[in-house]
Amino acid sequence: MYLKSIEIHGFKSFANRIKLDFHNGITGIVGPNGSGKSNVADAVRWVLGEQRARQLRGGSMQDVIFSGTELRKPLGFAYVSITLDNSDHALSIDFEEVTVSRRLYRSGESEYMINNSPCRLKDINELFYDTGIGKEGYSIIGQGQIDQILSSKPEDRRNLFDEAAGIVKFKLRKETAIKKLEDEKLNLTRITDILTELE
Ligand code: ATP
């Protein structure tokens, strides 16, 4: 699996629609300070479901929408889509190519899509669990993040190892099963109470 392309429109400094094609190998993005290199990495993190504006170097999520320049009016939405080669089926979805996209309007309304079908953020999170690619993944290491990882609490650092070991989805399934069991225990208690009243 590798990143084939990214399409950006209205996200941060990218007012015009741009498409970057990548190939299987190493790609470097070069440019002067402030030209938008980190914004490309932010776009990848955002489309993968990042919900924390601070991780995207902003104050609020609306800060990712192109805010205008002296010569250009602000835009009303931000759009990013990434296409991944999935010919090795590293992502458990029955497609050779997977496109994930996200759009956010100034009103706060947002939408996510997988291969052009609307989906929930949860679906995107689940698609990338244990691949190292999701928003918590280690495949995007931002500026200053290494220091952050080294100085983070052991429990937080553990999440990174869990993701690399591929056990996040099992931990989540376990949590869901425990929650269901607790709900069922409550139901049983209620039924026992009703039965006692009836006797
Ligand atoms: P450096 O080499 O210094 O790290 P860089 O090439 O990584 O720089 P970025 O940090 O990606 O640059 O881009 C910063 C630019 O993006 C700034 O000029 C900033 O004004 C612009 N920018 C960020 N958010 C928005 C936005 N919502 N609308 C318009 N421009 C934005």
Ligand-binding annotation for 152, yes or no, is no
* pLDDT tens column, 62-108: 999 999 999 999 999 999 999 999 999 989 899 999 999 999 999 99
This prediction's pTM = 0.81
What's the average model confidence in pLDDT over 145-172? 83
116 in a known ligand binding site: no
Query: 155 is in which domain, residue-wise?
Result: 2-166
Residues 50 and 110 in one domain: yes
User: Is 16 touching ligand 1 by the criterion CB < 6 Å?
Assistant: no
Is the ipTM above a cut-off of 0.85? yes
User: Is the shortest distance between the CB of 67 and ligand 1 below 6 Å?
Assistant: yes
Looking at residue 78, which CATH number applies to its domain?
Answer: 3.40.50.300
Spatial distance between the Cα atoms of 118 and 104, rounded to a whole number of angstroms: 13
Number of independent structural domains in the chain: 2
Same domain, 112 and 197: no
* Whether residues 180 and 91 fall in one domain: no
